[in-house]
């Protein structure tokens, strides 16, 4: 068995894995565990009281983080005519129609998110087996199939994140970088939690927000008291 790096051991020792921290103390603890030479991502894992096997308990949505994620997002837009120009003017990295679809079918995937106007879905639909498994398929439920391509591009470039509850009832979402500092991370996290709480299914019984953990790319998870989050959102 490989030895655990000294810095990782030291990071773990800074956190009480059983304690549920306040948001402020928890973020202090998270930031204190960052030791990588790169600007580590800060990620949130939220345990929800839902059963994703039932369609009426699926939690899925989007949220525009006030300070973004710290990641440069490459946006591709399937559109034509004036909508193609609108997308490029809004900051899309590439826009087009059948030519782009063919390029993707040939193996090109130099983008992170895709947006499409509704009239282009006949072309985009053929790419489902390529884009779907990668989470890149445009979807009207998350606002990436729309004629308002300018807004969609601006939101994705500005820090819009998508989230979807997994089979185990957990939502994983990035909320920024270590370099953001506590204040910006706190604002991003609160905005995210407002969105998740607002999407509580009417069929969800008992406690909806069951657990919350925050961690850096390389650091240990730090538990945040879910009751404090509920109180903050109220």
**pLDDT tens digits along 161-183:** 999 999 999 999 999 999 999 99
Q: From residue 78, how far is each of 62, 95, 139 by CA, in Å? A: 20, 6, 12
Residue linked to tokens 């470039």? 157
User: Percentage of residues in the chain with pLDDT exceeding 90?
Assistant: 83
Residue 226 confidence (pLDDT) above 70: yes
Q: What are phi and psi of 48, to 5 degrees?
A: -110, 150
The phi-psi region of residue 169 (left if phi > 0; otherwise alpha if psi is between -120 and 50; otherwise beta) is left
- Pick among 3.40.50.790, 2.60.40.680, 3.30.43.10, 3.40.1190.20: CATH of 75-158: 3.40.50.790
Report the 3 state secondary structure along the chain: CCCCCHHHHHHHHCCCCCCCECHHHHHHHHHHCCCCCCCCEEEEEEEECCCCCCHHHCCEEEEECCCCCCCCCCEEEECCCHHHHHHHHCCCCEEECHHHHHHHHCCCCCCCEEEECHHHHHHHHHHHHHHHHHCCCCCHHHCCECCCHHHHHHHHHHCEEEEECCCCCEEEEEEEEHHHHHHHHHHHHHHHHHHHHHCCCCCCCCCCEEEEEEEECCCCCEEECHHHHHHHHC
Residue 1 confidence (pLDDT) above 60: no
For 24-45, the pLDDT digits (tens) are: 999 999 999 999 899 999 999 9
Q: From residue 142, how far is each of 13, 62, 113 by CA, in Å? A: 40, 6, 12
Q: Tokens representing 35?
A: 């030791």
Rounded to an integer, the average pLDDT of 113-142 is: 94
Predicted structure pTM score? 0.84
Query: 7-11, 65-69, 166-170, 173-177: which has the minimum mean pLDDT?
Result: 7-11
Q: Could you tell me the fold of the domain covering 6-69+160-233?
A: Ribulose 1,5 Bisphosphate Carboxylase/Oxygenase (3.30.190)
- pLDDT for res 198: 93
- pLDDT for res 9: 77
- pLDDT for res 3: 63
- pLDDT for res 182: 96
Q: Where are the domains of the chain?
A: 6-69+160-233, 75-158
Residues 6 or more apart whose Cβ sits within 8 Å of residue 68: 158, 159, 176
């Amino acid at each position: 068995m490989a030895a655990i790096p000294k810095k990782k051991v030291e990071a773990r020792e800074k956190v009480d894995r059983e304690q549920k921290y306040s948001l402020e103390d928890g973020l202090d603890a998270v930031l204190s565990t960052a030791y990588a030479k790169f600007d580590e991502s800060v990620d949130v894992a939220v345990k929800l009281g839902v059963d994703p096997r039932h369609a009426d308990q699926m939690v899925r949505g989007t949220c525009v983080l006030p300070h973004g994620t710290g990641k440069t997002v490459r946006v591709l837009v399937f559109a034509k005519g004036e909508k193609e120009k609108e997308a490029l003017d809004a900051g899309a990295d590439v826009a087009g129609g059948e030519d782009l679809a063919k390029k993707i079918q040939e193996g090109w995937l130099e983008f992170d998110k895709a947006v499409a106007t509704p009239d282009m879905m006949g072309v985009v639909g053929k790419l489902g087996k390529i884009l779907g498994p990668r989470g890149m398929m445009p979807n009207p439920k998350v606002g990436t199939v729309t004629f308002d391509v300018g807004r969609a591009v601006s939101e994705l470039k500005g820090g819009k994140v998508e989230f979807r509850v997994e089979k185990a009832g957990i939502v994983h979402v990035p909320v920024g970088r270590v370099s953001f500092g506590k204040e910006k991370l706190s604002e991003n996290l609160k905005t995210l939690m407002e969105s998740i709480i607002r999407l509580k299914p009417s069929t969800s019984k008992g406690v909806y927000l069951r657990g919350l953990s925050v961690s850096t790319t390389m650091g240990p998870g730090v538990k945040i008291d879910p009751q404090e989050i509920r109180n903050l959102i109220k």
